[in-house]
Amino acid sequence: MEITVAEALVECLERENVEIIFGYPGGAVLPLYDALYHSTRIKHVLVRHEQGAVHAADGYARVTGRVGVCIGTSGPGATNLVTGIANAYMDSVPMVIFTGQVPTIQIGTDAFQEVDITGITLPITKHNYLLKDPAKLSMVIKNAFHIAATGRPGPVLIDIPKDVAQARISFKYPSTVKLRGYKPTYKGHPSKITEIAKLFGKAKRPVIYAGGGVIASNGSEELLKLAEAISAPVTNTFMGLAGFPGDHPLFLGMLGLHGTRYANLAITECDLLIGIGARFDDRVVMNINSFAPHATVIHIDIDPAEIGKVITTNVPLVGDVKLILKELLPLIEKVDRSEWLERIKSLKEQYPLSYNRDSSLKPQFIVEQLWNHTKGEAIIVTDVGQHQMWVAQYYHFKKPRTLVSSGGLGCMGFGLPAAVGAALGAPGRKVILVTGDGSIQMTIQELATMMEQCLSVKIILFNNSALGMVRQLQEYYCEGRHMATNFQFHPDFEMIARAYGIPAYTFRTEEDVVKGLPEVLDSPGPAFVNCIVPPGENVLPMVPAGRGINESVAC
């Protein structure tokens, strides 16, 4: 019996155990939506903008570890997905994106709502397909999900012309993947593992530098065992936060541009730097010449292209973090590093995170209270900007997949739709969005999606009437000339929230937060809290451009 390609696509998704698809319909994807209408196993979530669909699929993927799925139509529907695809690519998030396309005979004719989306997304997808042969649908989808989820995860796009979606085929779903040339390395080379174990034994001042690859590989437990076995302090990249317990004595906090001074100084003083699932990006390394100048560098990563790309690596090891650490642990010999740990303790005491408290409501205080009430049990979603960095500094993530944020791309507008995806991916969990007044206005329409899906997301808005992070950069690099970063008009956020049927509050003082925040967080249903914070509050510490990681501007 023959079925349409669109019907076969839905059958394929069901075989891949897809539960939720985020999307926005249009003419070129009508056959897909008509086929979805008959599915009893897949829930479709209607967003209010295609960017909301891709960010929601991203949030879903980050909290579940599964492949996120979204759909957009041709032309503007497809191009509206591009930012979110780039975001997923930069942060190694597994995702499969379906776009509609004009009929094959019209491709290349500048037909209505035609864009070359495979060409546009070639640099920001792990792989993409323009499906012209209906018979290849099943194998393309099987391969796409495999590519997205294996090796270094990432987004895969499948563009389907409308006439192909309507074609009829005999359906059969392949049981195996056939991909010549795509064979990610998972097991580490035995001789390199032995060499690394020996370096552990010789080092006097080791530091573990862990990134998002630890979380992607589900290797957090092994990382904790390694740190304790070799008595090495651990610092996380922003994407690595939640990969190591934030309240552990060995934890140094985040490093880099807005990292703790003691993390940056520990990197400067270490004699062995163990990079695990991290890519030595510019926000971490800052000045290459002064990054870990005395250290032998070990780099463990599943992506061979990242090793040696930025920092000279003495011992490279390609493979899956979890598997490699499991092989390393039995080879480790206990070494007394009490002197190094005392030095770390003194750095923490000498350079603690701090901020000046006065009569205004400081954002750092809000994050501290958020931590005090949740103790790391909530899923924290952020947008991008100052609020994001304050969360990174003052919230002590304890469990993997409890931070959802845009790292590599730094995408404002990510937070609200990502919170929708996170809440749908983790039903029953407390999901809290911390956002800024600039970020939330980019995708504020997704409040409708949140309410339509009956999600109990708590929204904490840091309202400083400014694009705070850019404003801060203008203070340092533009001699305080604040051009286009102060909002001259601001909406009534409480009124907007209530228009969507969301209970809303405004906090102006520390007392408001202490009294009101627990009530908001513990109440059933969604909530919107508008926190009025000072526009001049900056994120510190901060490493000025061109300086070494050890040259932070102090709090």
* CB burial string 71-86: b at 16+ within 10 A, e below: bbbbbebbbbbbbbbb
Cβ burial of 225 (10 Å; 0-12, 13-18, 19+) is middle
The residue annotated as part of the active site, out of 2, 112, 172, 342, is 112
Q: Could you tell me which of 264, 272, 550, 247 has the C-alpha nearest to residue 376? A: 247
474 is catalytic: no
What single-letter DSSP state applies at residue 71? E
The phi, psi pair for 137, rounded to 5°, reads -55, -55
The residue annotated as part of the active site, out of 95, 98, 114, 162, is 162
Q: Are 146 and 118 in contact (CB under 8 A)?
A: no
Cα separation of 155 and 133, whole Å? 22
Contacts of residue 402, Cβ cutoff 8 Å, sequence gap at least 6 = 242, 376, 378, 379, 380
364 is catalytic: no
**Torsion, Cα of 272, 278, 279, 285 (10° steps):** -50
50 is catalytic: yes
Query: Where is 381: in which H helix or E strand?
Result: strand 379-382
The residue annotated as part of the active site, out of 11, 50, 222, 306, is 50
The residue annotated as part of the active site, out of 95, 239, 469, 542, is 469
| DSSP alpha helix (H) spans, 453-502 | 468-477, 493-499
What 3-state class would DSSP assign to 382?
strand
Q: CA 287 → CA 143, 254, 321, 549, 550, distances in Å?
A: 40, 17, 27, 7, 10
Residues catalogued as catalytic: 50, 112-113, 162, 469
